[in-house]
Each structure stands twice: as structure tokens, then as C-alpha cells.
Amino acid sequence: MAALHRRGLAAAWPRSIVGVLLLLVPLGNTSFLGVPMIQAFFGAGGLPFLIVYDQFGTMAIFATYGALILALYGRKAGTDVATVARRVLLFPPTLALVVGLAARSWPYPEILTRLLQNLSVMLVPLVMVAIGLQLRLKLERRVLRPLSFGLAVKLLAAPLLLWLGCRLAGITSLAADVAIVEAGMPPMVTAGALAVAAGLEADLAVALVGLGIACSFVSLPLLFRLTQLVL
């Protein structure tokens, strides 16, 4: 994240572009795309580690760090502590996280459980359609460099650094291999939609999500192959 910020300052990119990179590059599509990919690569045994990575990693960061980035870089951004704190605390995913943790021991009525499950199934396809409608095949020059940089960091640099760190530390478990592949997932769809809604650079956000998914069908199998290497 520090590297993303420094790169944005060095290239004199607008705040709307830096905000998109800071939001989308750290947050991956670790569940919607992650589940079928991890199951295909590692079998059902990899899914418990995916759930931990997704819920306690991606979603927790999305509800806290994501809210902070949107509060600082969004259309109605504020820099004073009170404004930022209010936006973070009132960020819908943050509220949902708090309510979920507070109500985790309460039994849910069956009808409410089915309703929430049906809504969750509809969410990602709906957001992907909305993102896809805004995807442009011909991008402006000002978007190409941050797009290339963001995808290179998200799909290659981040998982490769994690792989190298694990191997140097002698960690070769299934949990580590799942985490490496998860780290290389393309940018989160929901984060892209929120970036557009917050008035950040829409073309960049949409391209990171759309092209990221397309490129990941090449990069993810290569990452999986890398995890199987014995050094």
C-alpha cells in the first residue's frame, strides 16, 4: 500500500486514481472467484483455509481499511479526524460486520436465513453486470499506466512476494499455498462498484475488475504451479 501511494505521488496521478489503486489492489475477489479456483486447484481440503482468508482477511480489511480509503479519497472526502471517523463507522460493510459479530450467537428464523442467502446469491452477479456495462475496450492513455501498475502488483508482485517469504521461512503447508493463490486473486468486484459510486476514477476501477478477472485465468494457474515447486 505504501508502494502504491509512493508510485502515485511520483507519477503525479490524480487523487481519484490513487484512491482506486489503494482500494482495489489490496482487496481481492477471494470468494466469488476464489471458491471455484481454490477447489479446482487444491480440492475441498483448501476451502476451510479460503474461508478464513476471506472472512478474517479480505472482508475485515474491506470493512475497515476500505471504509477509510473511501472516506479519504471519495467524492465527499474529508481530512479532519471527526469526518473520517464518522464515515468509517457508518460505512455499510462496517455496520454489517458489527451487527454480524454481535448477533452471531442468536438463532436466525429459517425464513430470514433463506432471504439473506437469496440476496447474497444475487449480489455479485448484479454488481458484475453493472461493472460490465461500464467496461470500455478502448481506454484513455491516462488510465493505462495506473491500470498496468495495479494489475502487475495485484496479480504478480503481491503473491510472488508472499510465496518468496513463505519459502524463505520454510513454510510449505496447504494453508500457505492457498493464501498465496488467494493473494493473487483479481480486484474485488464490490470494491470496484463502491469506487465508482464514491466518484473515484470509474474507468480505472472498472478496468481493474474486468481485465483483472480475464488476466487471472492465466496468472492463477501459474501461481498454483509455483506453489507446487519444491525448493
- Residues 182, 52: contact at Cβ < 8 Å? no
pLDDT score at 5: 64
* Higher per-residue confidence, 202 vs 93: 202
pLDDT score at 231: 59
pLDDT range class, residue 129, cuts 50, 70, 90: confident
Number of domains observed in the structure of the chain: 1
Q: What secondary structure does DSSP assign to the chain, as a single string?
A: -HHHHHHHHHTT--HHHHHHHHHHTT-B-TTTTHHHHHHHHH-GGGHHHHHHHIIIIIIHHHHHHHHHHHHHHSTT---SHHHHHHHHHT-HHHHHHHHHHHTTTSPPPHHHHHHHHHHHHHHHHHHHHHHHHH--SS--HHHHHHHHHHHHIIIIIHHHHHHHHHHHTT---HHHHHHHHHHTSPBPHHHHHHHHHTTS-HHHHHHHHHHHHHHHHHHHHHHHHHHT---
Q: Is the pLDDT of residue 166 over 70?
A: yes
Distance of alpha carbon 68 from its chain centroid, rounded? 15
pLDDT score at 128: 66
pLDDT score at 68: 86
Residue 89 sits at φ, ψ, to 5 deg, of -70, -30
Rounded mean pLDDT, 151-159? 96
pLDDT score at 182: 96
As a whole number, the mean pLDDT across the chain is: 84
* Higher per-residue confidence, 123 vs 155: 155
pLDDT score at 116: 77
- Residues 185, 221: contact at Cβ < 8 Å? no
Q: Is the pLDDT of residue 154 over 90?
A: yes
* Higher per-residue confidence, 126 vs 151: 151
Read off the pLDDT of residues 49-73 as tens digits, 9 standing for 90 and up.
Answer: 998 998 888 888 888 888 888 888 8
pLDDT score at 139: 75
Q: Which domain holds residue 65?
A: 2-227
Q: Is the pLDDT of residue 101 over 90?
A: no
Q: Is the pLDDT of residue 185 over 60?
A: yes
pLDDT range class, residue 77, cuts 50, 70, 90: low
Share of the chain above pLDDT 70, in %: 83
Q: What is the pTM of this model?
A: 0.81
